[in-house]
Amino acid sequence: MPHRTESESRKLLRRLQATLADAGAGQERLDKITHLIADSMGTEVCSIYLFRDADTLELCATEGLNKAAVHVTRMRVGEGLVGRVARSGRPINTADAPGTRGFRFMPETGEEVFSSFLGVPVQRLGEVKGVLVVQSKQAREYSEDELYALEVVAMVLAEMAELGAFIGEGEALRAPHKNQVMLRGGVAQEGVAAGQVWLHEPRVVIARPVADDPEAERKRLHAAVDRLRLSVDEMLRMTPAHDGEQMEVLEAYRMFANSKGWMRRMEEDIDRGLSAEAAVEKEQSAARARMSQVGDAYLRERLHDLDDLSNRLLRLLTGQGTETGATLPENPILIARNIGPAELLDYGRKLKGIVLEEGSVGSHATVVARALAIPLVINARRITTEALNGDTILVDGEQGVVHLRPDDTVQAAFRDKMAMQAKAQERYASLRDLPAEALCGTVVRLDMNAGLMADLPSLKGSGASGVGLFRTELQFLVRSKVPRRGELAALYARVMDAAEGRRVAFRTLDIGSDKVLPYMKPTEEPNPALGWRAIRVGLDKPGVMRMQLQALIRAANGRPLTVMFPFIAQLEEFTQARDHLMRELDREAALGRVLPETVEVGAMLETPSLAFAPRHFFELADFISIGGNDLKQFFFAADRENERVRRRYDTLNISFLSFIEQIVGRCAETDTPLSFCGEDAGRPIEALALTAMGLRALSMRPASIGPVKHLLRRSDLREVRAVITEAREMGAMTVRPALMEWLKRQG
Ligand code: PEP
Ligand code: MG
């Protein structure tokens, strides 16, 4: 086979473009393309395999193999050489295909006679859409140049496939972005929503992947990169010097924007016939492919930076971008790879649902979505590549399922589900002003958890008695720098105003472990959950805690104030924290400020040790709130962030419930008010068990108050208690089955 020069590969691209421009059905185009590539490259075989579903490839066109195999030959990802290329996203180039690991013989194609094999992925931005293969009888490895030419052609094919250039008969030739897709992800905020897709970062479409005039394309690229550099410099200039993380990202941008290697590779792609934007995207694809293979978190972040930078460059080159003129649809469902808390707060309550390709249950975006009660599904793989602005989308935040472009049957079923939910909501709303009084006459106080201003409108609507846990760290987490005392005081005052005299238990800053402030230097700890966090930070470096306490005293401005300290493990930590508060009260008094009318000082019981503290602790604490999320993780030694071990231990485990009962007993000895504010308080069956063990106050997400109250009002706690006692006597591990059985009997 003759050596291909660069201009020849450009010639190939130009011929390809002419073929693509020809009218004709998708199949005809594909046939012409395989013919053209085989002819130009002087190989006997050229075949195109495309994905027909998430894991099966289908032979869609061929020159040289048996035509009867088209749309018949299929293989799974990873199967055969073609399947291996699809899985790895990397080419395979071999002189001896039958002797290569993974080779699969496909008699229907008659391919045993071909010795050489070169397969490259047809991919767009790291998403593999198929595989392009050339084969020849002569045993030889294809040259670097040939490999390169084929990769470039494959990339153009991917772009054309994206634009729907190959729509035709057969599963694999369906119109892209037209079919119904169901994606599974993880639940980060419950709820169901129906609406239209709103892409946080609209996809840039490359309508012109091939260009005739490399000189002109180089000029375009240089002009765009110059503009990009200027904008990065400008961003750097605007960033405050202490904003370390933002600076780091921008420095990485600058490094890439000035990188000679990056520029050189893109110029080479242009010389080989790509347009400037296609060259940028080719580099971006390569970076994405590397991203999925890099284990090192720091390096992965930098590749993310390069990806963002490439996006900016693409927008500059194509004139497309966030400012596309599109307006937010009526019921927007936000789709993004990931999103920061501040950006999410900017959208506010306008969003009906959120679907993220990445994200995590403990992320700050999740915190905000929860505060806004917007259903959120995370880890929905491929959502940003599958969804188009305006597509119909259904988000099932109960199951972690997303339906994109659903058909009528799915829509009807979903509507039923939403109607059922709405009915349940109505039922809960009708209970709003009624007490959470069980059939036996026991009244339970139901409070809500909050942490952002966005939470507070729920206070009235949910029927909560007050705020049992105000997580003050959320205000710190959604900002890029430490808030000032004045800002905090104003904010806490607004919270108290919104509460209209209802009790709000402000928990002092609980950072560390999963809650890392963006502007705090991360400390490398082998075991962050057991590390320097919450009150430990507050006592060792009291500056921020004192500032917070001052802000709270000023915000109260004569009103009652409730403060609780997180993660108290022993009496001394509580006395020290309490002393800080007392000193701040004295100081504020000396400054002539109005002191709170009353001050309640409580502790969160989140470590088993505190349940065994001396009696004096229980006397000194004005109240105690069980942080069940942490308490459970330490009781069972099971990381609350680790899905694998977390689910192993049931809250309704007899040992855990017995432990709760002990805590209730210790508080009763000293008449210390006790509440429970972990997530389990908001799960109706768990709430029932907790109250049966003696708890009389629960604090939960606002949306849980209705369901919990509904169940409590229909239950006799003495009976629940009897069910638990019996299960314990029988030696059961958990009371869940017995309780479920009892509930069933109650109807
Ligand atoms: C808890 O641990 O149960 C708790 C309420 O605190 P957080 O979830 O904020 O750690
Ligand atoms: Mg906690």
Most confident listed range (373-377, 386-390, 568-572): 568-572
pLDDT value at 173 more than 80: no
Find the residues whose C-beta lies inside 6 A of ligand 1. 469, 471, 510, 606, 627-630, 677-678
Confidence at 156, pLDDT banded by 50, 70, 90: confident
Taking the CA atoms of the chain, what radius of gyration do you get in angstroms? 31
Catalytic member of 71, 304, 364, 403: 364
Confidence at 393, pLDDT banded by 50, 70, 90: very high
Mean pLDDT of 34-45: 90
Q: How far is CA 293 from the centre of its chain?
A: 19
Confidence at 1, pLDDT banded by 50, 70, 90: very low
Residue 626 confidence (pLDDT): 98
The question of whether 710 is a catalytic residue gets the answer no
Mean pLDDT of 220-244: 82
What span, in angstroms and rounded, lies between the C-alpha atoms of 444 and 712? 9
Q: Which atom of ligand 1 is nearest to the CA of 566?
A: 6
Using a CB cutoff of 5 Å, list residues around ligand 2, an ion. 606, 627, 630
Alpha helix (H) ranges present in 22-53? 26-41
Q: Compute the distance from residue 661 Cα to the ligand 1 centre, in Å.
A: 19
pLDDT value at 23 more than 60: no
Residue 192 confidence (pLDDT): 92
Mean pLDDT of 407-411: 94
Residue 311 confidence (pLDDT): 83
In this predicted model, what pLDDT tens digit does every residue of 623-666 receive, in sequence order?
999 999 999 999 999 988 777 788 789 999 999 999 999 999 99
Give, in order, the Cα–Cα distances in Å from 423 to each of 428, 429, 432, 518, 684. 9, 10, 15, 41, 18
- Domains for the chain: give ranges and CATH numbers: 6-173 (3.30.450.40), 181-202+324-407 (3.50.30.10), 214-318 (1.10.274.10), 436-746 (3.20.20.60)
pLDDT value at 306 more than 60: yes
Residue 114 confidence (pLDDT): 86
Mean pLDDT of 603-614: 98
Higher pLDDT, residue 311 or 241? 311
Q: Which atom of ligand 1 is nearest to the CA of 630?
A: 2
Q: Tokens in use for 388?
A: 């188009």
What span, in angstroms and rounded, lies between the C-alpha atoms of 332 and 375? 12
pLDDT value at 486 more than 70: yes
Mean pLDDT of 97-126: 83
pLDDT value at 245 more than 70: no
pLDDT value at 298 more than 60: yes
Residue nearest to atom 6 of ligand 1 (CA): 627
Q: Which atom of ligand 1 is nearest to the CA of 510?
A: 9
Query: Of 135-149, 153-167, 261-275, 733-747, which gets the smallest average pLDDT?
Result: 153-167
Confidence at 217, pLDDT banded by 50, 70, 90: very high
Q: What does DSSP say about strands 443-450 and 436-437: parallel, antiparallel, or unpaired?
A: antiparallel
Mean pLDDT of 20-24: 68
Could you tell me the pTM of the whole model? Answer: 0.72
Confidence at 322, pLDDT banded by 50, 70, 90: low
In this predicted model, what pLDDT tens digit does every residue of 698-723 receive, in sequence order?
999 898 999 999 999 999 999 999 99
In this predicted model, what pLDDT tens digit does every residue of 497-554 receive, in sequence order?
999 999 999 999 998 766 667 666 767 788 888 999 999 999 999 999 999 999 999 9
In this predicted model, what pLDDT tens digit does every residue of 339-352 receive, in sequence order?
877 778 888 889 99
Residue 377 confidence (pLDDT): 96
Q: Tokens in use for 413?
A: 């079923």
In this predicted model, what pLDDT tens digit does every residue of 62-111 receive, in sequence order?
999 999 999 989 999 999 999 999 998 889 999 998 888 888 887 777 76
* Ligand 1 binding pocket mutation candidate from 452, 470, 604, 704 (most atoms within 8 A of CB): 604
Query: Of 74-78, 242-246, 412-416, 654-658, which gets the smallest average pLDDT?
Result: 242-246
pLDDT value at 583 more than 50: yes
DSSP string, 546-605: HHHHHHHHHHHTTS-EEEEEEEE-SHHHHHHHHHHHHHHHHHHHHTTPPPPS-EEEEEEE
* Ligand 1 binding pocket mutation candidate from 447, 472, 629 (most atoms within 8 A of CB): 629
Contacts of 651 (CB under 8 A, 6+ apart): 628, 632, 680, 683, 686, 689
The single residue listed with the structure tokens 């708890």 is 695
Residue 673 confidence (pLDDT): 98
Residue 522 confidence (pLDDT): 66
What span, in angstroms and rounded, lies between the C-alpha atoms of 599 and 569? 22
Instruction: Single out the residue of 371, 377, 409, 357 nearest to residue 192, CA to CA.
Output: 377
pLDDT value at 481 more than 50: yes
Residue nearest to atom 8 of ligand 1 (CA): 629
Instruction: Single out the residue of 309, 348, 376, 30 nearest to residue 169, CA to CA.
Output: 30
Mean pLDDT of 669-698: 97
Q: Compute the distance from residue 684 Cα to the ligand 2 centre, in Å.
A: 20
Instruction: Single out the residue of 220, 208, 162 nearest to residue 13, CA to CA.
Output: 208
Element (H, E) at 437: strand 436-437
Q: Compute the distance from residue 567 Cα to the ligand 2 centre, in Å.
A: 7
Q: Tokens in use for 189?
A: 């905020």
Confidence at 404, pLDDT banded by 50, 70, 90: very high
Query: Of 136-140, 338-342, 607-611, which gets the smallest average pLDDT?
Result: 338-342
Give, in order, the Cα–Cα distances in Å from 649 to each of 191, 266, 682, 736. 25, 53, 18, 12
Contact 302, 289 (CB under 8 A): no
Confidence at 576, pLDDT banded by 50, 70, 90: very high
Q: Compute the distance from residue 422 Cα to the ligand 1 centre, in Å.
A: 29
Residue 285 confidence (pLDDT): 81
Confidence at 140, pLDDT banded by 50, 70, 90: confident
Average pLDDT of every residue of the chain:
88
Give percent of the chain above pLDDT 90. 54
Higher pLDDT, residue 21 or 49? 49
Give percent of the chain above pLDDT 70. 93
* Ligand 1 binding pocket mutation candidate from 567, 606, 635 (most atoms within 8 A of CB): 606
